[in-house]
Amino acid sequence: MVNYKGKKMLKHQRNRVSFSANLPEDVHGAFADSTCVVKYSMDPLTDIRESIKEMVKNVGIKDWKEMEELVYCYIVLNSEEVHCFIKEAFLSLCS
């Protein structure tokens, strides 16, 4: 019975875990009111590319400066291990 309660408590605690991310304070342009979403991915390149396309469409990027700010947000919000996927996703959309 102790093990059952312990397992139940662990399961309950896992349900209470949440993740969040905040935009860097120096983002003041088109993305200042954007919401950051944490996502686990089995295919980060495809998921990042789709996320970028969604942001471009929803925010309505007007110039290269806004695109640079979007790149900056992705780089700052993600770990270094993901930066290669971010770079490849942006380059594939710009070519």
Reported as a single tens digit per residue, the pLDDT across 70-87 is 898 899 888 899 999 999
Domain boundaries, the chain: 2-94
Closest CA to 52 of 68, 32, 33: 68
Reported as a single tens digit per residue, the pLDDT across 2-13 is 333 333 334 444
pTM here? 0.70
Say what the pLDDT of residue 61 is. 86
